[in-house]
Amino acid sequence: MTYNTEAIVIRSQAYGETHAIITLLTPSGTVGAMARGAKKPQSRLAACVQLCVEGVYTLSQRSGLATVLQAEVTHVRRSLHADLTLAAYAAYFCELATRVAEPRPHGSEALYRGVRGVLDRLEGGADPRLTARMFESKALAWLGAAPDWSRCVACSAPLREEVWYSARDGGLLCAACRSRHAPDAPGFMHVSPTVPRLLSMMTVTPWERLGRLQLSELTAHQLQLVLRTQMEDFAGLHLKSRRVLDQLIGK
Ligand SMILES: [Zn+2]
């Protein structure tokens, strides 16, 4: 079967001396594809196997790995390769996408638009740290690992002034439920009342309607800790690119 699809490269690795194997995210899910000869200097496929590149791919596929017959690149995202920090964020978003997305044809167009949105936002000069928190919120929802952040995860009461995050419960706790949990349990922390509001907003608001947010250092730090703990301890997502990013930005 031969077909055309728009796609974003979310993983790319060399295969032998001259080939590349890429993972494409399409509006209907991921597909692995071999780009023969793409690593040769003069290859017409060289541009279309770079991470974050977006284009229209012509694929031939019987089963398993597809073959890239040709590709027309529509968006190179050059700045995400030129800047070391942006490249590390982009690699992190791409790896997160590979873990969250379903294979074709079971994927979701919302996820495709989300990945395109996060890369565009990064390229457009938005604060990468905040952009990461937005994408992580959405990734948790796509994975089915996001609670209703506006409510206590134990009793469903709307959250008010006093709020705690509990990794064991995979969500936020109200003051009443907090007393049933050991305050020194791992992954247990008091958070500012703006954290539930921000998490809810970032999870449900579409990319195109998420504006620029101004956060205090404390809130930004708490958001990062809550999302990271929820991703790693609750959803089991340990990403290599995250460790690279941490080393680079000094976390
Ligand atoms: Zn409660």
Whether residue 183 has pLDDT greater than 70: no
Backbone angles phi, psi at 183, to 5 degrees: -65, -20
> Residue 157 gets which letter from DSSP?
P
Q: How far is the CA of 176 from the centre of ligand 1 (A)?
A: 6
Residue 57's closest CA among 101, 67, 108?
67
What is the CATH code of the structural domain delimited by 2-126? 2.40.50.140
Q: How far is the CA of 174 from the centre of ligand 1 (A)?
A: 4
Give, as residue ranges, everything with CB less than 5 Å from ion ligand 1: 152, 154-155, 157, 174, 177
C-alpha span between 207 and 16 (Å, rounded): 38
Percent of the chain at pLDDT exceeding 70: 99
Mean pLDDT of 26-31: 98
CA angle centred on 155, ends 154 and 159, rounded to 5°: 95
> Residue 50 gets which letter from DSSP?
S
Whether residue 185 has pLDDT greater than 80: no
Mean pLDDT of 44-53: 96
Whether residue 251 has pLDDT greater than 80: no
C-alpha span between 99 and 230 (Å, rounded): 15
Residue 56: the pLDDT is 98
Q: How far is the CA of 168 from the centre of ligand 1 (A)?
A: 14
Find the farthest-apart pair of alpha carbons in the chain and give their distance in angstroms, rounded.
66
Q: How far is the CA of 136 from the centre of ligand 1 (A)?
A: 24
Quickly state the pLDDT bin for 182 (edges 50, 70, 90): low
3-class DSSP state of 91: helix
Q: How far is the CA of 71 from the centre of ligand 1 (A)?
A: 53
Q: How far is the CA of 132 from the centre of ligand 1 (A)?
A: 28
Residue 213: the pLDDT is 81
Q: How far is the CA of 131 from the centre of ligand 1 (A)?
A: 30
Domain boundaries, the chain: 2-126, 146-234
pLDDT in tens, 113-134: 999 999 999 999 999 999 999 9
C-alpha span between 52 and 241 (Å, rounded): 14
Whether residue 235 has pLDDT greater than 80: yes
Q: How far is the CA of 38 from the centre of ligand 1 (A)?
A: 55
Other CB atoms within 10 Å distance of the CB of residue 246 = 13
Quickly state the pLDDT bin for 96 (edges 50, 70, 90): very high
- Percentages helix, strand, coil for the chain (3-state, rounded to 5) are 40, 25, 35
3-class DSSP state of 163: strand
Q: How far is the CA of 173 from the centre of ligand 1 (A)?
A: 5
Whether residue 210 has pLDDT greater than 90: no
Residue 24: the pLDDT is 98
Torsion of CA 131, 132, 138, 144, to 10 degrees: -170
Tokens describing residue 49: 């196997």
C-alpha span between 207 and 139 (Å, rounded): 12
